Amino acid sequence: MLSWQALTLRSLLSARRFLAPKLGGQDIESARANLDMAGELWRPLIPIDHIETLANGVPSEWVIPAGLGSDRVILYLHGGAYNAGSTRSHRALAANIAYAARARALVIDYRLAPEHPYPAALVDAFSAYRWLLDEGFRPEQIAVTGDSAGGGLTIALLTALRERGYPMPAAAVVLSPWTDLSTSGASWQENAKVDYLIHGSKLKEAARLYLKDISPQTPLASPVYANLKGLPSLLIQVGSEEVLLSDSQRLAVHARLAGVDATLEVWDGMQHVWHFAASFLPEARQAIERVGQFILAQVERQVVPALAPALTGAIHIR
């Protein structure tokens, strides 16, 4: 049974959707400002420190639960349809996940479309992961986590790492991931009326801006089409009322067929990345607790090998 908080939030989102003006074209600047404001609406559950840094030239921020000393690190890839989102919008969410996993988080400001279409975001994610290795973090200390577009980017990053011979992190977690930019999954139609956060037409336009001149079936842009063999243990969380539900279901099937230890959790009645509302929503806190347990379990089961020599050189992704 849904909590009263979940029922209240659903009603508010439904009313907001009903009262919103008819959809127009993409207003990128407004989308960016609105997501940053939304991210700041939901405060972290615990006090945090946040420190700006550069990860191989990628503007980033360390988000550290106050008083927590840990050698575990979460590389966090934010959502925002590849054209919005920032360290500001996702600081609280990354902090809550870091606290649950007894880790620190590195949140990166990867380059955004339309100014920087594919593969800019992937290049920046790759650079940040390589920076963590260069800084002395062992792969088995690292978990990669992302939501929405950042969830798809997480799977694309892991695929790119495997293809280039880099060591895999201990685990990966994706929240409501966008893994198919062709928007061809069944839930795009089936859940269109009950998903109060994702507007299908706007997300299709966002895909066009990110892809520019490449096919939406390009594996490193839509990783549901990628060869997922060799990826680390994977936790997928998605709400039952999302248009992106089928993106998660298909990702889980393809990952398992490739031999990946993939866990799919479909949370009844939840909207897109409900984890944002952890300061209000008990289901969000429960989901984040599950994420923390998963990351801790995967990190702790790793045998600690010697760190392989750091790989160098530019990355070129096509």
pLDDT in tens, 164-204: 999 999 999 999 999 999 999 999 999 999 999 998 889 99
The helices-and-strands tally (H runs, E runs) of the chain is 9, 8
- What's the pLDDT tens digit per position in 63-103? 999 988 789 999 999 999 999 999 999 999 999 999 999 99
Residue 272 lies in a domain: yes
Beta carbons within 8 Å of 242's beta carbon, 6+ residues apart: 176, 187, 191, 195, 198, 270, 271, 272
**What confidence score (pLDDT) does residue 16 get?**
85
With respect to residue 312, please indicate whether it lies within any of the assigned structural domains: no
Crossing angle of the two packed helices 4-19 and 282-300, in degrees rounded to 10: 110
The residue from 86, 148, 176, 222 that is catalytic is 148
Tens of pLDDT, residues 26-64: 789 999 999 999 988 889 999 999 999 999 999 999 999
127: annotated active-site residue: no
220 lies in some domain: yes
Q: Provide the CATH number for the domain around residue 190.
A: 3.40.50.1820
Which is the catalytic residue, given 78, 90, 254, 272?
272
Which residue is listed with tokens 């099937």? 253
Check: pTM over 0.75? Answer yes or no.
Answer: yes
Taking the C-alpha atoms of 215, 216, 218 and 219 in order, what is their torsion angle to the nearest 10 degrees?
A: -170
Q: Flag whether 196 is in a domain.
A: yes
H helix or E strand, kind and range, residue 55: strand 48-55
Q: Return the H-helix or E-strand segment holding 243.
A: none
Give me the number of domains the chain comprises.
1
Query: Is 22 inside a domain boundary?
Result: no
Residue 50 is a catalytic residue: no
Q: Which of 61, 242, 254, 283 is catalytic?
A: 242
CA distance 257 to 246: 16
Catalytic, 254? Answer no
What token pair was written down for 217? 């079936």
Tell me whether residue 219 is in a domain. yes
Is 17 contained in some domain? no
Domain, as residue range, for 162? 27-300
